[in-house]
Amino acid sequence: MLSAGHGSVDIYQGIVPVLVPFLASERHYGYLGLSGFVLAASLLSSVVQPLFGVLTDRWAMPWLIPSSTIAAGLGVALIGVAGSYPLTLAAIALTGLGVAAYHPESARLARAVTGGDHVGMSWFSLGGNVGFALAPVIATPVLATGGLAAAPFLIVPAVLGTLITLPLLGQRVASTSKKHAAGADNWPMFRVLSSVVILRSVAYIGLSSFLGLFVQQRVHPGHVAGEAALFVLYAGGAIGTVLGGRLAGRFGRIRTMRWSYATAAAALVAVVLIPGPALYGVIAVTAIALYVPFSLHITLGQDYLPTRVGTASGVTLGLAVSVGGAIAPALGALADATSLRTMLATLAVLPISALLLAQRLREPSRLEEPQDAEPPAKPTPAQTP
């Protein structure tokens, strides 16, 4: 249920790029104006998340989950009735704010209802990935049929997501009341982990931003080949997200993370070198390898900062992830100065760097124990020496 609710919010994180062509054609905004929409959505949905994380560490805010879900959908719906640029910008900002407010508290709830289980967190993460990938599938037919005037219909996923997650809100108190945080926050390890997340973010967003164009050059010209490559990338990411939790349960999070980044580096090199249809298989391997650590970053961050779970969630899901989008223009400039193939080849340096940093990470000890655990049985007189 929580995974489905996560997906209903992250649909709105992926919907702004779908809106851009319609805003350009119907309201005649220029490139600068359109970039303002993208910037507002990305900054608010990512950079503000740590702030909400800090707030949820100080006060319990389970009401943020339904209210932020509705806010994300309402912002998109209001675009259809906003007649001016400032009002449209404010509506998109509302969507970004809703996305930002949702993630820290929902990640805290996911930790509560799963007990910090790696597989459970991977399913929670999968919901967001699927929602992001479904954004163009859901929004494009609606907007193509009715234009921006049909945007109010796009609030439906938010309403459904709210109804799905409302029964879970009571679980937060019930689950967290049985456990207590133990141990001190390990800020040095958390900073190393955040650096790893940033490197992974730049590698993935750099690949996804330019993969379609690269595949058209290497496999077949036309949009079909590029769209097929992106589908493989998203599908591989979904598989990797779920696989990461299961591998971590068997081999440990740190070891799984190191293996995945080593595989990702080799796969990115293969993306550049392998021609023809076989390239799709390499893209799938790359996506799986880059997404295996995704949910593990969240649980590790929460375990490194056991008294600041909201802050850890806000950073691993928000601020660190947003860096990839900020670096994308620099990657585009590199591609212009050299070639698309050269730029993609340089991305292999990023998972290698993440692998080297991951060598410094250590698996946290068990940080939470049941408060109501029974004490060890006292020895009977017969057992007493």
What tens digit of pLDDT does each residue of 257-276 get? 999 999 999 999 999 999 88
Q: Are residues 146 and 214 in the same domain?
A: no
Give domain status of residue 180, yes or no: no
Q: What distance in Å separates the CA atoms of residue 23 and residue 1, rounded to the nearest whole number?
A: 34
Give domain status of residue 371, yes or no: no
Question: Would you state the structure tokens that stand for residue 255, as one six-digit string?
Answer: 């070891």
Give domain status of residue 368, yes or no: no
Give the best-scoring range by mean pLDDT among 48-57, 178-187, 369-378.
Answer: 48-57
The average pLDDT across 363-380 equals 49
User: For 278-327, what is each residue's pLDDT tens digit?
Assistant: 999 999 999 999 999 998 999 999 899 988 888 888 888 876 666 776 78
Where is pLDDT greater, at 158 or 54?
158
Q: Are residues 123 and 250 in the same domain?
A: no
Q: Are residues 298 and 353 in the same domain?
A: yes
Check residue 368 and report its DSSP letter. E
Other CB atoms within a 10 A radius of the CB of residue 142 amount to 16
Residue corresponding to tokens 């689950």: 175
Give domain status of residue 376, yes or no: no
Give domain status of residue 382, yes or no: no
Q: Which of 134, 166, 198 is at the close of a domain?
A: 166
What are the helix (H) ranges across the chain? 2-13, 16-27, 31-42, 49-58, 64-79, 85-114, 118-146, 156-165, 169-176, 187-218, 223-251, 253-273, 278-291, 294-304, 309-314, 320-337, 340-346, 349-358
Q: Are residues 191 and 159 in the same domain?
A: no
Q: What distance in Å separates the CA atoms of residue 24 and residue 34, rounded to the nearest whole number?
A: 7
Residues of the chain with pLDDT > 90, as a percent, come to 37
Q: Are residues 218 and 158 in the same domain?
A: no
Residues with Cβ < 8 Å from 2, sequence gap 6 or more? 106, 109, 110, 113, 124, 127, 165, 168
pLDDT of residue 83: 80
Per the CB < 8 A criterion, the answer to whether 337 and 217 are in contact is no
Q: Are residues 203 and 90 in the same domain?
A: no
Q: Which of 136, 166, 196 is at the close of a domain?
A: 166
Q: Which of 166, 195, 222 is at the close of a domain?
A: 166
Query: What is the tally of structural domains in the chain?
Result: 2
pLDDT of residue 325: 67
Q: What distance in Å separates the CA atoms of residue 15 and residue 76, rounded to the nearest whole number?
A: 8
User: For 44-75, what is each residue's pLDDT tens digit?
Assistant: 777 788 888 888 888 878 888 999 999 999 99
Where is pLDDT greater, at 146 or 179?
146
What's the mean per-residue pLDDT of the chain?
Answer: 84
Give domain status of residue 129, yes or no: yes
Q: Are residues 131 and 223 in the same domain?
A: no
Per the CB < 8 A criterion, the answer to whether 206 and 267 are in contact is no
- Binned at pLDDT 50, 70 and 90, residue 385 comes out as very low
The average pLDDT across 187-197 equals 94
Residues of the chain with pLDDT > 70, as a percent, come to 89
Examine the pLDDT at 181 and tell me if it is beyond 70. Answer: no
Examine the pLDDT at 152 and tell me if it is beyond 90. Answer: yes
Residues 355-380: b if buried by 16+ CB within 10 A, e if exposed: bebbeebeebeebbeeeeeeeeeeee
Residues with Cβ < 8 Å from 95, sequence gap 6 or more? 12, 15, 16, 41, 45, 71, 72, 73, 74, 75, 76
Q: Are residues 95 and 207 in the same domain?
A: no
pLDDT of residue 214: 87
Residues with Cβ < 8 Å from 145, sequence gap 6 or more? none
Q: Are residues 144 and 283 in the same domain?
A: no
Amino acid at 146: G
Q: How far is CA 166 from CA 59, 60, 106, in A?
A: 19, 16, 12
Q: Which of 158, 153, 157 is nearest to 79 (CA)?
A: 153
Length of the chain: 385
Examine the pLDDT at 193 and tell me if it is beyond 90. Answer: yes
Q: Are residues 244 and 127 in the same domain?
A: no
Examine the pLDDT at 24 and tell me if it is beyond 90. Answer: no
Give domain status of residue 195, yes or no: yes
Q: Are residues 148 and 212 in the same domain?
A: no
Domain boundaries, position 46: 1-166
Examine the pLDDT at 176 and tell me if it is beyond 60. Answer: no
Q: Which of 138-147, 180-189, 254-263 has the lowest mean pLDDT?
A: 180-189
Tell me phi and psi for residue 179, to 5 degrees: -130, 160
pLDDT of residue 367: 43
Examine the pLDDT at 222 and tell me if it is beyond 80. Answer: no
Q: What distance in Å separates the CA atoms of residue 205 and residue 326, rounded to the nearest whole number?
A: 10
pLDDT of residue 182: 54
Per the CB < 8 A criterion, the answer to whether 229 and 283 are in contact is yes
CATH of the domain at 125: 1.20.1250.20
The average pLDDT across 85-101 equals 91
Give domain status of residue 370, yes or no: no
Check residue 147 and report its DSSP letter. G
Residue corresponding to tokens 């005037």: 149
pLDDT of residue 330: 83
Q: What distance in Å separates the CA atoms of residue 9 and residue 14, rounded to the nearest whole number?
A: 9
Q: Are residues 264 and 328 in the same domain?
A: yes
- Binned at pLDDT 50, 70 and 90, residue 377 comes out as very low
The average pLDDT across 131-159 equals 91
